[in-house]
Amino acid sequence: MAWRQSRCLTRVSSTPCRVRCGASCVPGLSACKAAPACAASLSRGESGHFCAGGDISEYADFRFQEESLRTFHEDDVWGGLQSMLDCDVPIVAQIEGNCMGAGIEIASCCDIRIASTAARFGAPIARLGFPMAPRETELVLREAGALTVREMLLEAAVFDAAQMLSRGFLNRIVAVEQCAPEAMATAQRVATLAPAAARMNKQYIRAFHAQNSLPTLAEYALPAIHSIATMTQQAYRYADSPEHREGIAAFVEKRKPVF
């Protein structure tokens, strides 16, 4: 979208949230980052939802083998999320409907988060028999806070927009019909400001955030786990576990899992 002739606002879709959920954002962001005239990016979903999570019907194709599961999370998903985190162009999230699983991770990469009052947030993967990947957990922990992440992952809790606003994850919430206009207006306001300064500000924020970030999950984990790297090496050994298979099978068969 052209903006004041010399400015550019790029729209990036976070859907379809299927097997390559995180990576679906990369092409638009890469083009935006490389274009000096690009001053803002708008991340939104399709069909009324920001991102409803992965396509569970595809999980059997890759989730039950450790190496393919590792490749999915470390290369496909994290590769896409890292591209968003590394993007110097301000990213505005337009969050409507479900923001689940990978959706909460994508939203965590955005600079300004605007949600409709009907938006719902969570990562109820405990019902599917598997944990959130280490890097993804650290990302959501940093942005949503430990209390919220514990509830999402340990209790499979789902939160509404008002709760996520009060917990500091959202910048503001608006009526359903106002979400798209408000997000676009926000991105356009950002796009009218000094683009080089915005990119420098994002670099500074990223650097200081990394320097002063919360302790890594390794400090809370078992004494034998000393780093995210070590944790990641061990993270996908559950791939062929009975618990993992039962969680996926129960969802596909539309029944309650028996763990």
The pLDDT tens digits for 200-256 are 999 999 888 777 665 555 555 444 445 667 788 889 999 999 999 999 999 999 999
Higher pLDDT residue, 138 or 7?
Answer: 138
Q: Quote the mean pLDDT of the chain.
A: 85
CB-based contact 120:160 (threshold 8 Å): yes
| Confidence (pLDDT) at 21 | 43
Average pLDDT (103-129) is 97
On the question of pLDDT at 66 being above 50, the answer is: yes
| Res. 53 pLDDT band, cuts 50 70 90 | confident
What's the mean pLDDT in 122-127?
96
Model's pTM, two decimal places? 0.85
Cα-flanking dihedrals φ and ψ of residue 159, to 5°? -115, 150
Confidence class of residue 138 from pLDDT cuts 50, 70 and 90? Answer: very high
Q: What is the pLDDT of residues 152-179, one digit of tens each?
A: 999 999 999 999 999 999 999 999 999 9
Instruction: Show the tokens assigned to 59.
Output: 């999980």
106: phi then psi, degrees, rounded to nearest 5: -65, -45
Reply yes or no on whether the pLDDT at 1 is more than 70: no
**Average confidence (pLDDT) over 27-42:** 71
Are 84 and 30 a contacting pair, CB within 8 Å? no
What is the average pLDDT across 58-63? 89
Per-residue pLDDT band for 57 (boundaries 50, 70, 90) equals: confident
ω into residue 16 within 30 of 0, thus cis? Answer: yes
The pLDDT value recorded for residue 11 is 59
Question: Is the Cα torsion angle 67, 71, 72, 78 positive or negative in sign?
Answer: positive
Q: Read off the pLDDT band of 13 (50, 70, 90).
A: low
